[in-house]
């Protein structure tokens, strides 16, 4: 009886160790809760899509304080700023650029553990030195501030402060 208990405990510990090693590699989430890609992404009438009423979205074009986040400002030329931002986005873990034009970047970021996908957009408004931003979770109600933190982290790196 004691031998069976030790075997079960050993198998359990091996399973936990395997899960930890897989998860800590950071390459793939343990689960894949991706949701459905929104159909309203992109630029329409010089605007990114509005945030839903849920608090798991931030946008520099939102009018309510819960969803508003400042756009990213830059002083360089548009092509330089675009190239810099694109490199920053590409360097983010578990982030993939899905679409891009000369004034727009759309990326998807996957959370480490559960595989939640967030949609992240950057729009270089013509004739300004502003990058409009939007980051939104596809699933759930709350994101525990992850989308806001993501944009602020990108802003800091863009300005060389992090």
Q: Which residue has the higher pLDDT, 86 or 19?
A: 86
Distance CA 49, CA 125 (A): 14
Distance, C-alpha 149 to centroid of its chain: 9
Instruction: Using alpha carbons, select from 108, 111, 110, 135 the residue that is nearest to residue 123.
Output: 135
Confidence check: pLDDT of 30 > 80: no
Please give the tally of structural domains in the chain: 2
Q: Are residues 5 and 74 in the same domain?
A: no
Are 105 and 142 members of one domain?
A: yes
pLDDT of residue 1 exceeding 90, the answer is no
Q: State whether 8 and 53 are in the same domain.
A: no
Same domain, 1 and 42: no
Angle at 31 between CA 89 and CA 97, to 5 degrees: 20
**What average pLDDT does the chain have?**
86
Q: What is the pLDDT of residues 63-72, one digit of tens each?
A: 999 999 999 9
DSSP secondary structure letter of residue 119: E
Asked whether residue 61 falls in the same domain as residue 102, the answer is yes
DSSP at 71: P
> 20 lies in which domain range?
1-29
| pLDDT tens figures, 126-139 | 889 999 999 999 98
pTM of structure: 0.80
């Amino acid at each position: 009886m004691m031998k069976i208990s030790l075997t079960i405990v050993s198998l359990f510990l091996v399973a936990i160790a395997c899960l930890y090693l897989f998860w800590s590699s950071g390459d793939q989430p343990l689960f894949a809760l991706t949701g459905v890609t929104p159909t309203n992404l992109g630029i329409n009438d010089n605007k990114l899509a509005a945030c839903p009423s849920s608090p798991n979205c931030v946008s520099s074009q939102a009018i309510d304080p819960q969803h508003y986040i400042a756009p990213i400002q830059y002083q360089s030329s548009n092509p330089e700023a675009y190239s810099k931002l694109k490199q920053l986005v590409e360097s983010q873990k578990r982030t993939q650029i899905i679409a891009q034009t000369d004034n727009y970047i759309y990326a998807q970021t996957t959370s480490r553990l559960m595989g939640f996908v967030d949609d992240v957009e950057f729009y270089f408004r013509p004739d300004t030195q502003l990058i409009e931003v939007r980051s939104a979770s596809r699933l759930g109600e709350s994101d525990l501030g992850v989308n806001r933190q993501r944009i602020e982290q990108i802003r800091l790196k863009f300005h060389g402060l992090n």
